Amino acid sequence: MRILVSDPLSQAGVELLKREHHVDVRTDLSPEQFIRIVGDYDALIVRSGTQVTKAVIDASNLKVIGRAGVGVDNIDVDAASAKGIIVINAPEGNMISAAEHTISMMMALSRSIPQANVSVRKGEWKRSRFLGVEVFGKTLGVLGLGRIGAEVTKRMRALGMNVIAYDPFITVERAKELRVDLASLDEVLAKSDFITVHTPLTKETHHLIGAKEIAKMRDGVRILNVARGGIIDEKALYEGLKSGKIAGAALDVFEHEPPTGSPLLSLDNCILTPHLGASTVEAQINVAVSIAEQTLGALKGEPVRNAVNVSIRAETFGAVRSYMPLSEQLGKFCIQLVEGQIQGIGVTYTGEVGQCDVHPLTIAVLKGVLDHVLQSPVNFVNAEIFAKKRGIRITETKTEKLEDFQSLITVKINSDKGDWSVSGTLFLGDQPRIVKIGNYHVDAETQGCMLITSHIDKPGVIGKVGTLLGNNNINIAGMNVGRDKVRGGAVMVLALDDPIQDAVLAEIREIDGISVATAVVL
């Protein structure tokens, strides 16, 4: 078979590929040349430079596209999936490098090393100006205990730091393994001398640290971000650094890269590097070898560890294939209702579906749950691995007992703040529907924007919600209400044509009779 490498790749990876296949390394292709020759290859390996557009994919006969790194933003994954092309990435190859860069930045921050270097080169000898602090005995707050956050934790504990962490998707058991105390976000902000960010950039984590959060921190705190730009509000960070509330900051990533014109560039107490987290010789070799090994395996038809779109092979799931979209959407729906620290995920299969091999459906549920919260692409190969690494208990129950439906799938997520469950089935054989939220019967499609409320079944509550949405130009496409008894507890599902803003959601929660209001997007 023929493999095209269109971006610079470590020679170790190239040599591995050449042992089994013909390999061409062409890093100088124009878009026109690329489209013209891509049809001659069975596999393509890129980094971030090559844009693998729909036009490229349509012109190809590729079986595999490999990304030597984490992000696949430069690959049209949907177009590849539609054509049956497996897309693979290598998310773990730069893990140690990113962790070590975080630690390097922390030590440089604690001792003002870059500033002292510049001073000496100017012919100065101002030792008192660069009085530092030890990290020994200090408290490190880690926001996000995924792969990189865990590696940073291990190393900084060895340097004598006390570590506390905020991560609602890590269990207490996993935190104990890392010898870390889990805490709320507010507790981490209030108790930490150093704070380091290791979360993905999502709607929930965008500006996770802003002016309000900085106000809750200790005076003289030091902040680091070697994760993703946008998690820290850079304007608020600038004000905190200028006022002295924040003693120093170290950033490797920015909301806009390069950060041309950023006021942070003018501050001496802010250390900046140009997105170097993965820029080591070892990381480049690791991602090259990883993507080469996975590409070779995929070309042989073997299971692939980091396939971004393995769901294109759903035909292998036989009798339960039609339940795959429902299962994934139930997981994605339920996780958006959950509060607190996840401890376990249980899936119950009732009726005809309970007579089948349902494990692929459980994996689909996990994919739905984790895809909503993790930065790394989650697929049917790695979803269970991710869950187990985070110490999440997974239970699978089957019963042939018929209830109200021929087949019913119930997803239950428990956390330290309670239990949440959602049930669904297929209407007319292949149309996914949510039919229960907790103990309340509903009927909702599994798509689009939704508002879910728990409220008291009394006159005026629903009307006030509708009026508030209308006043904010949010159109209601459909409504369904489930209740246990007249003027008792109730659940409402509103299908919306427009996304609901956080400010509007906050107003809904203030309506008398509303106990919970949650925006869900599927």
- At 316 the pLDDT is 46
- At 287 the pLDDT is 94
Residue 381 exposure: Cα atoms within 13 Å on the Cβ side? 19
User: What percentage of the chain exceeds 90 in pLDDT?
Assistant: 77
Quick check: 8 and 47 in contact, CB under 8 A?
A: yes
- At 376 the pLDDT is 67
Domains (ranges, CATH) in the chain?
Answer: 2-93+282-299 (3.40.50.720), 95-272 (3.40.50.720), 314-521 (3.30.1330.90)
Candidates 187, 143, 135; CA nearest to 166 is 143
- At 381 the pLDDT is 62
CA distance 197 to 142: 6
Backbone angles phi, psi at 45, to 5 degrees: -120, 130
Cβ partners under 8 Å of residue 169, min gap 6: 342, 370, 373, 374, 390, 392
- At 315 the pLDDT is 43
- At 311 the pLDDT is 46
- At 377 the pLDDT is 64
CA distance 215 to 236: 10
CA distance 521 to 336: 8
- At 318 the pLDDT is 61
Quick check: 314 and 131 in contact, CB under 8 A?
A: no
Rounded to the nearest 10°, the torsion over CA 244, 150, 233, 245 is -10
For the chain, the residue count is 522
CA distance 156 to 1: 46
Cβ partners under 8 Å of residue 45, min gap 6: 3, 4, 5, 6, 7, 9, 13, 17, 65, 66, 67, 68, 291, 292, 295
Quick check: 266 and 342 in contact, CB under 8 A?
A: no
Bridge partners (DSSP) of residue 142 are: 165, 196
As annotated, the active-site residues are 228, 257, 275
**Which residues of the chain fall short of a pLDDT of 50?**
311-316
- At 383 the pLDDT is 81
- At 312 the pLDDT is 41
